[in-house]
Amino acid sequence: MLPIAIQAYSLRDASSGDPVSVLREVKAMGYDGIELAGLYGFSFTEVKMALQSIGIKAMSAHVSYDEMIADPDKVLGGYASLGCSWVAIPHLPEHFRIGAERYDEVIAGIKTLGEAAKKHGMTLLYHNHEFEFAKIDGEYALDLLYKAVPADLLQTQLDTCWVKVAGADPAEYVRKYTGRAPVVHLKDYCMEGGSLGDGGTPMRNSTFEFRHLGAGMQDMPALVQASLDAGAEWFVVEQDMPTKGMTSIECARESLNYLRSL
């Protein structure tokens, strides 16, 4: 099994009061790392000290495109100082998406960020949602993004939940990016009411619920094997919202226990 991190966004409800205590609990559960989603008002120096005192690795971070592009060296240098190997663009607003008026601008910006990440010893990733699976001239928008930016400047962070929600086979899609998929997001869910092959929003026309790993629709053993085949280096557990009456901490523990059992 690869090392396993948890996305800090999954624990935002528990972290709002005392994020350092939550990090300690994550470490005690047996997680190997954390993927940051903001600094909760702390400085890079303070976060680094907390990580070191707890003994958990910040392997990656989700950082908004706008924040990074405003000052690439300062922002990326800060995350590099925490020991992050990767930094991921978590989302793009509509005006930056393919076909929108500022798409060319964001492609140029992503290349700039990719170069800046390399300068600081990191690799830039892109984290998808379902809307990147809209088809343009027969190709997924996400594939067009990865064609537009070279692999040495941008690699994938495939969110396997949204890949499946959009109607693609997540294991097959991970294998498609063999050698370019260092960090794979494992996320489970249940949905009734049909699939959304054109990148629609599931909550509008279906019953949708995030689940801890192993309690939803995903074929997790197949996803784990596909990730290994593709050369992945880390798994990241992500659950956008806790469900089934559980807390986010309980969901995180169940997901880790399930993965360790495979």
* Model confidence pLDDT, tens digit, residues 209-246: 999 999 999 999 999 999 999 999 999 999 999 988 99
**CB atoms inside a 10 Å sphere around CB 230:** 21
pLDDT of 94-135, one tens digit each?
A: 999 888 889 999 999 999 999 999 999 999 999 999 999 999
Domain positions in the chain? 4-261
Does domain 4-261 bear CATH number 3.20.20.150? yes
Residue 198 has pLDDT above 80, yes or no: no
User: Which residues face 210 on adjacent strands?
Assistant: 189
Residue 261 has pLDDT above 90, yes or no: yes
Query: 34: closest CA among 234, 192, 173, 189?
Result: 234
Query: 129: closest CA among 139, 137, 141?
Result: 141
